[in-house]
A and B are shown apart, each in its own frame.
Chain A
Amino acid sequence: MKEAKTALEMYRMMLLIRRFEEEAARAYSLGKIGGFLHLYIGQEAVAVGAAHAMRPTDSVVTTYRDHGIALARGMTANAGMAELFGKVTGCSKGLGGSMHFFDAENRMYGGHGIIGAHIPLAAGVAFASKYTSDGGVTMVFYGDGSASIGATHEGMSLAALWKLPIVFVCENNQYAMGTSLERSISVTDMSKKADGYGMAKDRFVAEDVFEIRDRLKDAVERARRGEGPTLVEILTYRYRGHSMSDPAKYRTKEEVEDYKKRDALNQLRAELAASPETAKDVEALEAAVEAEIAECVRFADESPEPTADLLEPTTYAGEFAR
């Protein structure tokens, strides 16, 4: 088993994300979580590979499907689950919800509900790194559904023009809500868009978390060297619907089952269990993840709700402008 310690750590995080979301789905059906809940189940290897490709001083921005990368960047399951439950102990004090996970300490800058609009924002974080020469790289995630909106184009145009230290990661999960790739974009190889901006590009299937890490690391280090942005398209799949209200009738059961057979999480587990070096650790690790998940649900449930006195101080820094 190569890099046994890292492999175990990656598996732990992928499992934590999956179990976190399964419990979130359960809590949603119990009415503990409101609004929208967009699950990342099936795509965990991307977030975990990405987090391992970065330094703690690098930054991340993503869309509303944000639980995975937030946890992978170091947010605690407690802070994440409490946010979903709308509690003051949540990462955004219960004011953001599922779509607006923020963790400034771990340089995770959201959690954005207007897809595409987060691309220029991320370019701004990268601009700041270049302006201050702090050596930081920003990784911004978007889906196939964000690829066509105008703000994405403007953000990429400027990032490429100014050679900003940023990596655009297109998580192509094949469906923009209920619209399949073929029905939403004229060129389904979205990495080709890089050519128009004069950016480096890469494109691969998300089956091996190590491959994801290594190929993203190439892009991150290219950015860090001042050679500009890379557009990386990662072909992935979400097992659940777009959000909790989506039964996903636009795709066949066979298609979903086929993807599940190639599940990166299960593959990694099989490898770890088969290797004498790591086999003994797998079950203990899984038990620890279960305990962490149980604890985060308990914590979220028992935490207090935010109170009205939070509203005005989180709207303006100083005196309220009315």
Chain B
Amino acid sequence: MKSMRFREAVREAIAEEMERDDRVFLMGEEVGQYQGAYKVSEGLLERFGERRVIDTPITEAGFAGIGIGAAMVGLRPIIEFMTWNFSAVAFDQILNNAAKLRQMSGGQLSVPVVFRGPNASARQVGSQHSHAMEHFYVNVPGLKVIAPATPADAKGMLKTAIRDEDPVLYLESETLYSVKGDVPEGEHLVPFGKARIAREGTDCTLISYSRMVHVCLDAAEALAAKGIDCEVIDLRSLRPLDEETIVASLTKTHRAVVAYEGWPYGGVGAEVVDRLQRLAFDELDAPILRVTTMDVPMPYNAKLEQLVIPQAHRIIDAVERVTYRRT
């Protein structure tokens, strides 16, 4: 095991895969000379040169499309969005080209492209830079959507993403980049579609992913002091979604709270709730609750922003409700 920060884990995955396979390249805004807007790609230009670490102008639809086109004819592009918010201007490329080329060509084409970058809230960056974009993308067949919470998964899942034959959307978090964790040494690949049990417990299942896993773990500690033992599930992979692990946990705890960033209407949380009620209806001792971003655009004001983003106390409150400690 080696301790490293989340951003170093992402960088190591990119570097190892570029080392292994000449078809892999990194393209995006400020990934090269600037060394990455969040320093994820620091040193990669020096190591791999301008042919493989490519700075772009501000043209998300343009370079997302170039990544898809290059993947379609056999390359393995890693396309960095400075933040996932900017993927909105490339949404058509992801929806209509990346996700559909295989099917509309009758299976002739593959699009092994990875789109990656930080997602969801940062700190006071306002309404246009705080989106949790996964909720738009998980709806689309043809895409895979991955959201790791730890450096180990960040590395192992990005390596898996780069080797995948389908378009993979890989979500990081600005507020996770400096989080440290142990990463296995040597070849480390984490498969998609397998959730991770981040904390074992017996009274209530907390289901989350990305940065919010850490908030759930904080909430679980506080709840333990109150005598409620929570199991925390880190989904890691949003599409495909690991039904088996969440159903097994619910079968043990009979209660669940889903906590994540994103608006309450639809989205990943609604999908998790739908699957649990269909697959494990008889196991439920209480309605499943969701703790989400409030149903408003993100405000700039620091206090209002914290009010809008899901916090540990809201998770604690939801767990107390599903365990009937309060109404």
Contacts and interface: CB of A to CB of B under 8 A. Distances in A.
Interface of A: 59, 61, 90-96, 100, 102-104, 109-114, 117, 119-128, 131-132, 150-151, 154-155, 157-158, 161, 310-311, 313-322
B72 interface: yes
The winner among A103, A124, A318 for most chain B CB atoms within 10 A is A124
Contact of B69 (A91, A92, A127, A161): A127
A102 B62 contact: no
Contact of A120 (B64, B164, B239): B64
A303 to B, nearest CB: 13
Contacts of B106: 90-96, 102, 310, 314
Given A315-B103, A321-B193, A158 B62 contact: yes
A125 B73 contact: yes
B227 interface: no
B194 interface: no
A224 to B, nearest CB: 17
A112 B68 CA distance: 14
Contacts of B74: 128
B221 to A, nearest CB: 33
Contacts of A100: 104-105
B230 to A, nearest CB: 27
Interface string B50-70: 010000110101111111111
Given A121-B65, A131-B25, A317 B110 contact: yes
6 contacts: A92-B105, A120-B64, A125-B69, A128-B70, A151-B93, A154-B61
Contacts of B66: 120-121, 123-124, 127, 155, 158
B186 to A, nearest CB: 25
A305 to B, nearest CB: 13
A102 B109 contact: yes
A104 B108 contact: yes
A124 B105 contact: no
A198 B70 CA distance: 23
A125 B107 CA distance: 18
B71 interface: yes
B108 A102 contact: yes
Interface in B57-106: 57, 59, 61-75, 92-93, 96-97, 101-106
Given A114-B92, A150-B61, A321-B240, 17 more contacts: A59-B73, A102-B105, A109-B109, A113-B96, A117-B93, A117-B97, A120-B65, A132-B75, A151-B65, A155-B62, A157-B57, A158-B59, A314-B107, A315-B141, A316-B144, A316-B166, A317-B166
B127 to A, nearest CB: 22
A127 B109 contact: no
B263 interface: no
B299 interface: no
A315 B65 contact: no
B152 interface: no
B192 A321 contact: yes
A151 B69 contact: no
Contacts of B71: 124
Contacts of A90: 106
A64 B96 CA distance: 13
Contacts of B101: 110
B27 to A, nearest CB: 9
Contacts of B143: 321
Nearest to A110: B105
A194 to B, nearest CB: 17
Contacts of A151: 61-62, 65, 92-93
B241 interface: yes
B62 A110 contact: no
Interface string B93-135: 1001100011111111110000000000000000000000000
A317 B92 contact: no
Contacts of B70: 124-125, 127-128, 131
B102 A315 contact: yes
A109 B71 CA distance: 12
B165 A104 contact: no
Contacts of B241: 322
Contacts of B57: 157-158, 161
A317 B240 contact: no
A117 to B, nearest CB: 5
A91 to B, nearest CB: 7
